[in-house]
Amino acid sequence: MATILVLDDDPDISTIITQLAEDAGHEAHAASTIAEGLDTLGRIPTDLVFLDVSLPDGSGIDALSKIRGFPTRPDVIIITGLGDPDGAELAIQNGAWDYIEKTSTLKQIMFSMDRALRFREKARKPAMVSIKRDRLIGDSQALQPVIENISVAAAGDAGVLITGETGTGKEVIARTIHENSPRSEGSFVVLDCASLPASLAEGELFGHVKGSFTGANTTRTGLVGQADGGTLFLDEVGELPLAVQATFLRVLQEKRFRPVGSTKEFDSDFRLMAATNRSLEDMCEQGLFRSDLYYRIKACAIEMPPLRKRLEDVPAICRFHLERLCEKYEKDVPELSEDFLSVLMNYDWPGNIRELVQTMERTIMRGGDEPVLYPEHLPVDIRAKAMRRTVGKHDEPLDETATFAPDAPTLPAADRTNFPNDLLNGPLPEFKDYRKECLARIERPYLERLLDEADGNIKEACRLSGISRTRLYAMLKDHDMSR
């Protein structure tokens, strides 16, 4: 039995689909707005959502990513009263399982529902397969589709195209697939196409024989030959010279190549993976990239999300590289203060993981032998931009001129009588310790009331409080409070 949500403001459609689902033995719920639907998804683990395109409080297509972002990652079938080819394409690109019109027969609706649930049940099995990922750090929701795709790609031998912004870790994805594949014992050979001159491309890829050109004093094995039995990874494949693409396509198809200056062909059983931060589809339309090569490369496509969309992974990534860098510089690994991590998680990281690693390297140099790293050890530009973002969200505690709403939770009467003066009994504490304890006294009862009002739902708690998800998780952790 599956759990199904019908998110549609048309009561007739909701009743029909809900009845169909219940007749098939499933648990069904209905909602008429996006807000109501998201609230239901937060309370009830759901397998499948029938989603209307036009809803009173927004577009169903725009809400797709939020719906797919819930822990159960429910599949979505778009239902619409007006067929729209562009809308259908956009829906599928955004993760919808199917796109059907409200004029569809009951049989068609049942067929789509049954097929989605059957596929979901089968897809659960490979999701349970654990993969080795020594370098791929993080468990955020945004990273889960990547991990699932790695598991699928590692089981096959088809070409893999990894896309994403510069610095997101595309080569790490390729290496992880290689290390989990049957080719893991073979070589992982990397070619940076961006630094490859067109005149040297064929020699670099296919090698050359002695005397084939001026300066060829020895016979050299090319990267295609070196990758025999393993994986050839073309980084920034969009920069591969157009003149070489036709030759490389034939090698990819035949798995045979001829070194420069040679009359013989050689075999190479290699698997191709490629990465780019450009749109190869647009390049194909502009005549800058061969479409036949593009389709051979993208048999399996994986998009790596930017770091700003997986900020909850920042502490783990930070600690991983901190240990590596401290070993490199023969330093003791320092602790990371909560304030330090807070700054890192309130910065957008336009340079992604690469920028984070470089920042950590600069920071441990500035920190010297300090046992704990604080925000003051970070570069000023990062601290300033993180502060701007924090202030912009109004997530920081209010100052002494602010007041709580009349119904805001308060401290018990006994505590209110002496608070905060009771904290000044005995030796005068440092101001930062005094301030921290004051905040702790007022934050915890607020958080308790907030979680109670939101029924434990983090999304609803963020909406009620105006606190960002990242900040809220950090506060809950500080107070040892569970969701």
Q: Mind listing the pLDDT tens digit for each residue in 366-398?
A: 888 889 999 999 998 898 888 776 654 444 333
CA 337 to chain CA centroid, Å, is 25
Using the predicted structure, report yes or no on whether residue 106 has a pLDDT greater than 80: yes
pLDDT at 418: 60
CA distances from 22 to 25, 121, 315 (A): 5, 18, 44
Q: Distance between CA 62 and CA 87 in Å, rounded?
A: 11
**By 3-state DSSP, what share of the chain in percent is helix, strand and coil, each rounded to 5?**
50, 15, 35
pLDDT band at 404 (very low <50, low <70, confident <90, very high): very low
Using the predicted structure, report yes or no on whether residue 69 has a pLDDT greater than 50: yes
DSSP-assigned beta bridge partners for residue 276? 163
Domains of the chain in start order, with CATH, are 3-127 (3.40.50.2300), 141-305 (3.40.50.300), 308-393 (1.10.8.60), 413-478 (1.10.10)
Using the predicted structure, report yes or no on whether residue 11 has a pLDDT greater than 60: yes
Tens digit of each residue's pLDDT (9 = 90 or more) over 307-350: 999 999 999 999 999 999 999 999 999 999 888 998 999 899 99
> Which segment of 73-87, 108-122, 415-429, 447-461 scores lowest on mean pLDDT?
415-429
Identify the burial level of 117 via C-beta atoms within 10 angstroms of its C-beta, where 0-12 means exposed, 13-18 middle and 19 or more buried. buried
DSSP-assigned beta bridge partners for residue 161? 274, 301
For the chain, percent of residues with pLDDT exceeding 90: 46
pLDDT band at 187 (very low <50, low <70, confident <90, very high): very high
With a threshold of 0.75, does the pTM exceed it? no
Reading phi first (left if > 0) and then psi (alpha if -120 to 50, else beta), residue 113 is in alpha
pLDDT at 123: 63
Q: Distance between CA 454 and CA 35 in Å, rounded?
A: 13
Q: Distance between CA 163 and CA 177 in Å, rounded?
A: 15
Q: Contact, 160 vs 300, CB < 8 A?
A: yes
Using the predicted structure, report yes or no on whether residue 9 has a pLDDT greater than 70: yes
Residue 387, CB-side half-sphere exposure with 13 Å CA sphere: 9
pLDDT band at 61 (very low <50, low <70, confident <90, very high): confident
Regarding predicted confidence, which is higher, 122 or 125? 122
Q: Distance between CA 410 and CA 456 in Å, rounded?
A: 20
Tokens found for residue 369: 């032998």
Mean of the per-residue pLDDT values of the chain: 84
Using the predicted structure, report yes or no on whether residue 28 has a pLDDT greater than 70: yes
Q: Distance between CA 349 and CA 167 in Å, rounded?
A: 10
Tens digit of each residue's pLDDT (9 = 90 or more) over 233-249: 999 999 999 889 989 99
Q: Nearest 10 degrees: CA dihedral of 342, 348, 352, 358?
A: -60
